[in-house]
């Protein structure tokens, strides 16, 4: 496999970065996860725009233009003959000292890894996924804004460990106000009395690209969709619930904290989004 690193494509064994890179030492850096469907990079511009926002928020000046980053993504897919898959785009702070100061770092690294994607098992999409709320809270917007897609995912990793240890694949994280933020790697939606709700980014949700696509699809279909703070109770009594993410797409939820959602099978609104999303991904892309 070829990996893009330091301006060129190299064999994966040759793709090495400095142990002094603050991406490694402090999780100081940013990333994007992007999908390729039928030779098209889905929503590439939206991903690069979010990457730029993350960079701006952590005062990391990107030494590459948006076009140069887009070219790196496309070149890496082509070099690996990838027509369908997943791209991990990483920008590190670069090499620094053992101290924390990012201003002493130089040489931020742009890394592009393109590979096949392993989705959840097929039965999750037909039967729904059981999930739980976990004790680890999503880090507060005043501590480290979850809107920054940073390399520092320990908060999410701790929540994931709690879920996996309890026998679940995903976890719902609450914020320090006690309302729902998001899952460890996905956004969350519920449907109640014909209205679709998702937590606002101020509650600690990432502005997911897939989340935005769901908002677009709802508006196109004339469905009511609103951002609202949600409690655990709201989740427990929801008629439908689903997760969204670049890798997972639209995932139906059948049970939360032991409470069946709706009748325990994927509901009609969720199934509609799942089907429509599959059509969208091949339409709105940048050709390789």
Closest-CB residue for ligand PMP?
A: 208
Q: How far is Cα 287 from Cα 74, in angstroms, rounded to an integer?
A: 8
Q: Can residue 285 be called a binding residue for ligand PMP (CB under 6 A)?
A: no
Catalytic, 149? Answer yes
CA angle 237, 212, 285 (to 5 degrees): 135
209 forms part of the interface with ligand PMP (CB under 6 A): yes
Q: Binding segment for ligand PMP among 56-64, 85-93, 96-104, 204-212 (CB under 6 A)?
A: 204-212
Q: Exposed, middle or buried: residue 85 (CB in 10 Å: 0-12, 13-18, 19+)?
A: middle
SS3 10: strand
Q: 79 or 88, CB closer to ligand PMP?
A: 88
Segment near ligand PMP (CB under 6 A), from 2-10, 202-210, 234-242, 252-260? 202-210
245 binds ligand PMP (CB under 6 A): yes
Q: Which residues contact 208 (CB under 8 A, 6 or more apart)?
A: 186, 187, 244, 245, 246
Using CB under 6 A, which of 76, 133, 136, 156 touches ligand PMP? Answer: 156
182 binds ligand PMP (CB under 6 A): yes
- Site membership for ligand PMP, residue 27 (CB under 6 A): no
Segment contacting ligand PMP by CB under 6 A, of 126-134, 207-215, 233-241, 256-264: 207-215
Structure tokens at 271: 């199934």
Site for ligand PMP contains 208 (CB under 6 A) = yes
90, 29 Cβ separation under 8 angstroms:
yes
Q: Which residues of 135-164 are buried (b: 16+ CB within 10 A; e: fewer)?
A: ebbbbebeeebbbbbbbbeebbebbbebbe
Gap between the Cα atoms of 72 and 70, Å rounded: 5
149, 160, 193, 260: which is the annotated catalytic residue?
149
Which residues contact ligand PMP by CB under 6 A? 33, 156, 182, 185-187, 206, 208-211, 244-246
Catalytic residues: 149
């Amino acid at each position: 496999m070829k990996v893009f690193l330091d301006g060129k494509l190299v064999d994966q064994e040759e793709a090495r970065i400095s142990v002094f890179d603050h991406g490694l030492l402090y999780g100081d850096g940013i990333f994007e996860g992007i999908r390729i469907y039928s030779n098209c990079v889905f929503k590439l511009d939206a991903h690069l725009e979010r990457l730029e926002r993350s960079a701006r928020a952590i005062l990391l000046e990107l030494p590459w233009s948006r076009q140069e980053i887009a070219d790196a993504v496309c070149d890496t897919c082509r070099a690996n003959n990838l027509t369908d898959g997943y791209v991990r785009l990483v920008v590190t702070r670069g090499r620094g000292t053992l101290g924390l100061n990012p201003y002493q770092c130089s040489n931020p690294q742009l890394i592009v890894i393109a590979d096949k994607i392993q989705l959840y098992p097929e039965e999750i999409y037909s039967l729904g996924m059981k999930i739980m709320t976990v004790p680890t809270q999503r880090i507060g917007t005043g501590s480290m804004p979850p809107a920054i897609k940073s390399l520092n995912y320990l908060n999410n990793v701790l929540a994931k460990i709690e879920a996996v240890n309890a026998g679940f694949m995903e976890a719902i994280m609450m914020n320090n106000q006690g309302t729902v933020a998001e899952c460890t790697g996905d956004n969350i939606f519920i449907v109640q009395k014909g209205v679709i709700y998702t937590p606002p980014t101020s509650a600690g949700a990432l502005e997911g690209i897939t989340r935005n696509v769901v908002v677009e699809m709802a508006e196109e279909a004339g469905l009511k969709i609103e951002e609202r703070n949600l409690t655990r109770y709201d989740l427990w009594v929801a008629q439908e619930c689903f997760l969204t993410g670049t890798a997972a797409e639209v995932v139906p939820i059948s049970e939360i904290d032991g409470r069946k959602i709706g009748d325990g099978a994927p509901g009609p609104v969720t199934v509609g989004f799942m089907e429509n999303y599959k059509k969208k991904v091949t339409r709105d892309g940048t050709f390789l």
